[in-house]
Structure 1
Amino acid sequence: MSQELEVQESAKQEIAHAAVWYNTQRPGLGDRFLAEVEDGIQRIQRNPEAFPRGRFEARRILMNVFPFMIIYKVHPNAIIIHAVLHTKQRPSKLL
């Protein structure tokens, strides 16, 4: 049984903010950022248990090109994306 995916509104805002910022730095770079976020989400959906678990049962996946991580939790029927953070931010403040 596949799990539903939910991206919290705050995570959507973080993604959009970062994409806009990258596009102001270089046109098209924000689109590359969005593509990498999508790739990370697909990797999570394929194997949600594959990535390290931290505090409060939250897991994270590091992006390959951009210094960001996707913070998520696995529930019996859903995967919830809680945040997309720059690696210099502390995810423990979220959960």
Structure 2
Amino acid sequence: MTHSIHPAAVSEAADAVRFYESRDPELGVRFQAEIFASIERARMQPRLYREFEAGLRKVKTDRFPYFLIFRVCNERQIQILAIAHASRRPGYWKKRL
């Protein structure tokens, strides 16, 4: 399955990487790897993740407090709408729908 990423989600991920790199360069690398792994899990088995709202699913990163919010567009593609911090501004990304 292919994926597309909303431009704002790309910015969110880049901001988070910069934040973690400012604390420790290795943290930035690990965060980025977690995001890539989460994208891969969503891409390979999108329906494994339950809908938390109509048509929307989320994948939790393993070691960081972030969710990958996505939707299944069709049998061949998912769209990643947000790389969202688990406890900041819930639902801010809904305007991207």
TM-score (ref. length: structure 1)? 0.90
More strand by share: 2
Equivalent in the alignment of 1:84: 83
CA contact (8 A) 1:55 1:92 kept: no
- Does residue 27 of structure 1 match 2:15? no
Letter matched to residue 49 of structure 2: F
Q: Once the 2 structures are TM-superposed, how far is the Cα of residue 65 of structure 1 from its aligned partner?
A: 0.3
Aligned residues: 93
What's the CA shift string for 1:44-77, capped at 9, x where partnerless? 1110001121123110010110010000000114
Equivalent residues in 2 for 1:1-95, closer than 5 Å: 3-76=1-74, 77-95=76-94
Q: Once the 2 structures are TM-superposed, how far is the Cα of residue 94 of structure 1 from its aligned partner?
A: 1.9
RMSD in angstroms over aligned alpha carbons?
A: 1.2
Q: Percent identity?
A: 28
3-state SS of paired residue (1:69): strand
